[in-house]
Amino acid sequence: MSLGILLGFVALLALLFGGLALLKRIDRFWILARRAAGHDQRQGVLGRVFATTAVIGTVGFTFWLLFIGGLGSTLAPR
């Protein structure tokens, strides 16, 4: 059973890093395409998308933790 969990974790990491590598290539292509179109494009959008996703995920997880799942029952017992 622990071998299956280990293999699942390794596969998850491989997929995450592979997806990130693919997104990085797409972002570089986007920069080049914008430059070719005459825009002064120095940075891609991947950093802003990642930061926005991290903030939304943090807020969502905190809401879930405090009010729906985890700590809700200990903060406001029924």
Q: For residue 35, give both structure tokens.
A: 């430059």
Binning pLDDT at 50, 70 and 90, where does residue 61 land? very high
Above 60 in pLDDT, residue 72?
Answer: no
Domain range annotation of the chain: 1-40, 45-78
HEC-encoded secondary structure of the chain: CHHHHHHHHHHHHHHHHHHHHHHHHHHHHHHHHHHHCCCCCCCCCHHHHHHHHHHHHHHHHHHHHHHHCCCHHHHCCC
Is the model more confident about 66 or about 74? 66
What amino acid is encoded at 6 in this protein? L
Give the separation between CA 41 and CA 35, rounded to whole angstroms. 6
Residues 12-46 have pLDDT tens digits of: 999 999 999 999 999 999 999 999 999 888 898 89
Q: Is pLDDT at 74 greater than 80 in this prediction?
A: no
